[in-house]
Each structure stands twice: as C-alpha cells, then as structure tokens.
A and B are shown apart, each in its own frame.
Chain A
Amino acid sequence: MRSVRTVILWGLIAAIGAAALGRVALSRGESINAAWLLTAAICTYLVGYRFYARFIATRVFVLDADRATPAMRKSDGHDYVPTNKWVVFGHHFAAIAGPGPLVGPTLAAQFGYLPGALWIVIGVVLGGAVQDFVILCSSVRRDGRSLGQMAKDEIGPVAGVTALVAVLGIMVVLISVLALIVVNALKSSPWGMVTISLTVPIAMFMGLYLRFVRPDKVLEASAIGLVLLAGALWAGQWVAANPALAPIFTMTGPSLALLIMGYGFAASVLPVWLLLAPRDYLSAFVKIGVVAALAVGIVLVMPPLAMPAVTQFVDGSGPVFSGKVFPFVFITIACGAISGFHSLIASGTTPKLLAREPDAKLIGYGAMLTESLVAIMALIAACVLTPGVYFAINAPVAALGTTAESAALAVRQWGFVLQPGEMDALAKSVGESSLLSRTGGAPSLAVGMAHLFDRALGGGGMALWYHFAIMFEALFILTTLDAGTRVGRFMLQDLGGQVWPKFREVTWQPAVWMASALFVSMWGYFLYQGVTDPLGGINSLWPLFGIANQLLAAVALCVGTTVIIRMGKARYAWTTLLPLTWLLIVVMTAGYQKLFSPDPRIGFLAHAEKFSSLYSAGTIPPGVPSLAVMPRMIFNDRIDAAVAAFFLVSVIVIVVESVRVWVGVVRGRVPMNSSEVPAQSVALFPAD
C-alpha cells in the first residue's frame, strides 16, 4: 500500500516538474511567471535527490550506517566531532554559498532566462551535486583528507602538484573578480562606500568585545553587530545627502581598488579574532537572512519575467560579456550548477563532522541543490527587470557611451525599450547618481531585489532596500576576499618554505608580511587591470574565473572517477564521467576561444593584435582614455591569455594522468588498491 502511494506521489512530482519545465522552455513571446521556473527547479531537485542521489548512495558508494566515520574514529573534540546532520548541512551550506551563485546567473541573463535556467537545473542534478557528494564520500572514507591529498594518493604526484598550483591560481582569479564586483558596486556611491567601510570597525568592535568584554558570547556580539549594520545603512544615507561630506566618500574605481587591496593585506596580517572571525559570524547571519528574504520576496510577489526566454545575444554579440551561448553560459554560471571550489569544502571541514555515512547524501547532494535554488532565485531577480534596464546597468561604457541618451540609443538598437529619463529616475529612486554601466552583476541584482522587496512590503523603500542588498553582497564578497587572502598567504608561505624553510614560519613577521604583500599584489594586479579596462573588466575576468572554477571541478571529477574505479565499481564510473566529459568539452572550447578566437571581443590574443595595430596607427578606440594606456592593455591581454593557457594545460595534465590510472586499473596492470581506510564498525567507537 505504501509503495503504491510512493509511486503516485513521485509520479505526481515528476509530472508537475515536467509540466512546469515544458512551460518554461516552450513559452515564446508571452511573459511567464517566475512561479513556473521555481516549480520546475524544485520538482527536478526533489526527483534528483530521491532517485539519483539515492542511487549513488546505495549502489555506487554503498553508504553504510554501521561503518564508522572519521568523526567517530578520530573523535578529538575539536576537528573531528560527530555532529547532527542538519547542523552539518547548515554549516556546509554557509561555507559553499557565497556571491558566486548570485553573480553568475545575473550575468548569464543576457542570453535570456532559459539557457541559464536549464543549465542550473540540469547541471546541478547530474553534475554539481554529484561532484560535491562523491568528493564528500571519498573524503569520509579517507579520514577527511583534502582534495589535493586525494589527487596525489589516488592518481599520482603529478596530479597532486597540478591540483595544488591550480587551487592557488584559482584563488588569485576568484579574489580579483570578486573585488572588481565590489569596486563596481561602490564606485561613485557615497552611500554604499560609507556603509561598507563602517562594516570594518563594526567587525573590529565585535572582535574586541568578544575578546575583552564578554568572551565567547558570539550571538550577543552578533546581535549588536547586526544593529550597528542597520545604523551603518542609515549613516550612509545621511552622508550621501550631506553636500559637504558626500564628495569625500565619492570614490573612483582605481582608488577603491587600492583601498580594497589595503584591506586584504590588513586582514591577512592582523590577528583573526580582531577582524576575520567576527566578520564571518556577521556574514553567516547575513547570508542565511538574504537567501531567506529573497525566497520570501519571490514567493510573495510571484513576479512575471520581463526578460525574453532567449535573446539575440546567444549569437555571441552580447554586451555584458562576449561569446556564444555555447560554451559561455556553462562558464559564466559555475556556482549554482557545478562549482569546483566546493570540492575543497567537501574535503575540508565537512567530512570530519559527519556522524553517520548515509548523512553524506543530505549534506553533499542536498546542500548543493539548495545553492542551485539560490542561483535560480538570482536569475529570477535579474529577469524581473525590463531588458532595457538590465542592459543599461550591465553593459560596459564601451557599448553604452557615457550619457543617458547614448545609453538609451544603444539599448534601443538592440531592440529593447528604454526611455532616456528612465535610468535617471531609477538611479534617483535607489539613491545613486547613476546606474549606467555598473557592471559586475551586484548593482543589477540589488535593483532586482529592491524591486521585489519593495513590492512585497508595499512601496517607498527602494533606496533603502537597494543599499541593504549592496551591503549584503559586499559583506560576503569581502568575507571571501579576506579569508581567501589569508589562505593564499599560507599557501605561498608553504610553497616558499620548500626553498627557504624559515619562510614557512607563521610567527616570523617578515615572512607573513612578504607573503601577504605578494599574494595581494597577485590578485591586485588583475583587479587594477579590470578596474581600468574600458570593457568593464568583468568581460575578461569572469570567463577566466569560470574556466578556473570548472577546471577545479574537472580535477574533482577525475579524483571521483578514480576513487569509484579503484573501489571496483568501474561499471558505475559514468556517474562522474558524464559531467566530466561535458565539463571538458565546455572548458576546452571556452579556453580555446578565449585564446585563439579571431574575434577581438572574445579572443585575448586577437584583442591584443587589434589594439597593437590601432596603437601603431595612432587611433584611440572608443572608451579608452588615451593612447598612452594602450601598451598596458595589450600586455594585460597577453597575461590573461597566459593564465587561460595555464588553466587548460593543467586540465590536460590531470586528465591524461587520470586516464592512465583508469586504463591501468581496468586492464589489471595497476593494482586496485586505494587509499581508503578499512571499514570499522561503529560499535568499536562509543560516543562521548
């Protein structure tokens, strides 16, 4: 009887999902409601979780509640601690969800909502969630070892080193592109600038409070911090309205870039209790709060999507970033569909907390589905804006010109509607001087969210909601940036320690300062290059970030496939080979095009070539301030090309190494042994 009911229930969910997906995919010319998109996504996630995740859990890994997890075997009260699965889920979700799933879908909305939506929903069920789940299971069976260590143990030393260097490269590109998004959101915005700057002393106040006034009262300090954040929002509004103070806090891109680099350096050398830890606590609340608020806003308003299903920019001529829908939608949306970075977390803290093996399904697969839902909500928030407004905010100066009239003309030439006064009125309503060419995704997402919140709560608060959204986005971008810089510093110290052992000492200040300065200048270089780029920087840096992130996903899936084959489950290796193959096609195509496309808007080298010939002819292309800056731009193109080439070579190395191992194991030339720790029953490890 129960099985009949189960069949009916899941049949119904599948049918509703299929109907909603059909409605989303096939409607043309009429605007559809966001509810369809949300329903299609949620039903697909439910079916994926119930059937595919269970298949991987029971058939591939055969997760066993009687097999002791690292948390039980090595229980030490701090690193390895058996923890309730919902707590681990929350912890893991807070660690994986950052600005990535918000920004990528916003940028990809230039193709229309359909390509992004399909990739997010299908990509996560067959790719992203599988990656997170498989890496988590692999790490749980190996005492919680890291991805780099597993690559070394399972594939070989070359793969291990490549993985490590790739991680460092990815961090550099990731931090620079995130910093660029913050710069573009705060540029000439005294309100935003004051609010975000105040978050630093607020975090430090919390740090001091926790250390000297009320040690360990984290929730109390966070509550005070949140109240102060609301005050910072109000202070920003006050400064922006004050004619004497506003100009002091109206910053240009380059000076903001230098400030953020200074911040990253400070965060890397200051004690963690003073800045990083309290900021993280605040950011975790903010993250969960903003995701919940976005969900409530969408459900209350149920907005129609103003963006068409597919725009003409699928042909590669898009102003937000160039390149055809294939492969670039799959590069632009990494987090939310498949994100290689997650494999570092799934093989970091999380595997050491699992109380039971079967919990891995909820935490590995389930948390990624939740992140994917966040990506769908960000896509909805971007698509509730009219296309005219969306493109006016997200297209760079080189495409729009600098005035409201030139922007309106450009947008109309693309076939969308935009009155010259519309952007001014919108900017005024959110308390900004201009919203034209605010590339990077954060401002348009904030406008979309402000729009939703304003409608949900009955009007009048656009400016406050806009700056609230900007503050939230900047807060957790800066949390990734500061923690990432510190981690990068440790990795550099570790690397430098190979040749000069003293450099590794974390208590030796000169090494700390040198490594921090080196790492900050690495990402700072790309940041500064992006800030001064007339094409907006996002155009060149976001694809690099996407390629880097998918490269790490390819590494993770190679490790996963090797683990599965070495378990003697080669017949199930398609679970990871399927997304791996797709990623390789996407990364290789995108990387090849970024390098060698003859179209200067896509290919780095073609762009360098074009600028070289313009420079020798003495012509200044639109958007470029002077002839003198052109040699630097040409050099930057070549650096970007070198970075893309480095990522592609790394992918090839890892894949070739892995395939050698797979073929060897299947043919019996390489022994089937793996680094898995032998199974032990939970009965051997009594709870504390």
Chain B
Amino acid sequence: MDVLRRLVSVVRTVIGVPDYERYLRHMHARHPDCAVLTPAEFAKARLDARYSRPGSRCC
C-alpha cells in the first residue's frame, strides 16, 4: 500500500499537480504561527503561477 501511495505521489509530481500535503507539512514545520491557505486557495495560487510565465512548456 505504501508503495502504491509513493507511486501515486511520484506520478502526480511528474505531471505537475500541486502537492497540498507537502505545503501543509512545510508550513507546520517552518511557519507554525502563519495562517495556511485552504486547499482551494492553494490550488488556485499554484495554477495561476504555472500558467503566467514562459518556461512551463516547450515546443
């Protein structure tokens, strides 16, 4: 089961899905007093960043 979950996480990162869990872990570890984004806010912020600059896609 762990292998499967690991595989899913690898595939998701490769195709470029933002990883909310990792963001949460990071915020809890490093910035415990800061407010965290909700999953929806996080997803929106990530997508906006990805599609607003050259360099996310090639010919």
Contacts and interface: CB of A to CB of B under 8 A. Distances in A.
Contacts of B15: 94, 218, 222, 280-281, 284-285
Interface string B14-52: 111111101111110110000000011011111111111
Interface of A: 75-79, 81, 83-84, 86-87, 90-91, 94-100, 146-147, 167, 171, 174, 178, 215-216, 218-219, 222, 272-273, 276-277, 280-281, 284-285, 334-335, 339, 341-342, 344-345, 347-349, 479-480, 483-484, 486-487, 490-491, 506, 545, 549, 688
B16 A348 contact: no
19 contacts: A77-B22, A78-B18, A90-B13, A100-B59, A146-B55, A215-B40, A216-B39, A216-B43, A218-B17, A276-B51, A281-B17, A284-B15, A339-B59, A341-B59, A345-B58, A480-B57, A480-B58, A688-B25, A688-B29
A94 B47 contact: no
Contacts of A348: 53-56
Select the residue from B10, B48, B57 with max chain A CB neighbours within 10 A: B57
A491 B54 CA distance: 9
Contacts of A484: 57
Chain B contact residues, majority secondary structure: helix
A581 B22 CA distance: 44
A563 B37 CA distance: 38
Nearest to A104: B59
Chain A contact residues, majority secondary structure: helix
Contacts of A272: 47-48, 50-51
Contact of A75 (B26, B51, B56): B26
Contacts, number: 136
A149 B49 CA distance: 18
Contact of A77 (B12, B26, B57): B26
B36 to A, nearest CB: 9
Contacts of A344: 54-55, 58
B32 to A, nearest CB: 12
Nearest to A282: B15
Nearest to A481: B57
The 3 closest A-B pairs by CB, nearest first: A348-B55, A77-B26, A90-B14
Nearest to B29: A688
A483 B27 contact: no
Given A76-B26, A81-B22, A87-B14, A345 B55 contact: yes
Select the residue from B12, B48, B58 with max chain A CB neighbours within 10 A: B58
Contacts of A167: 54
Select the residue from A78, A99, A146 with max chain B CB neighbours within 10 A: A78
B45 to A, nearest CB: 7
Contact of B56 (A95, A99, A342, A688): A95
A487 B14 contact: no
